[in-house]
A and B are shown apart, each in its own frame.
Chain A
């Protein structure tokens, strides 16, 4: 979790791991930059978007944890294409 090891029950979701870790945010929204944490825990609200194993914008509540998984805060919008207009 953000580079630090964390023990999580087998079968838990990555979003549960985020809450267990006690982070203050797992993402910042791309529009207003507001901090967010997992909310609905059932794949609907998209507030738990995180970078998981190097892939941006994954719904952490829909991803079961696995040994060695790397979860990082999603900062703003994902970059779709390096060197794009942004």
Chain B
């Protein structure tokens, strides 16, 4: 059995001081910085090991700052592990922050093309799907207007619509999204759940434990960068609840 995602002994360190020094300060205080950089950091993730199988939906739960989002970013490949190894053998579709890379001066259509290619399609494939994307987003003639004229809701609608029309093979979700108004929220949630239940491999970070219990086969509980528990959804969620109370 081959895994879609393999995470082997992954550690991730962040420097504590996020404020970066200027060039002059850096040169003047070089020895100090070298010394300090060795000490002041924290481990966002420690010794993380797990696998995700084809078609599985893995939930990730835990307190804020537990390392959940860092873990997703690592799998996505936008940040690198300090130690360890991550292997992903499928095309990823991140639903972390919708509309990443949208440019306000470009139209919905132009942005959809770029975003679709960024999310793993070819230009031709996006062009074929543009109609479906447009239909799902239901933003009418705004499709050909610059994104800066959009309302927040419209922005999220088009962004979400692009993301789910890219044939996701591996979904990375940070919170099941509440997109747009009542009607579209329901529609987008249903579309996502249909994808997940339809066998798309999914990593789902959420604080909504009932959703986790409902759609995840397996759950990982991250606490202060370490895996505190892993296993069957309802069992891990229960354990987590007991601990949090």
Asked if A and B bind, the verdict is no
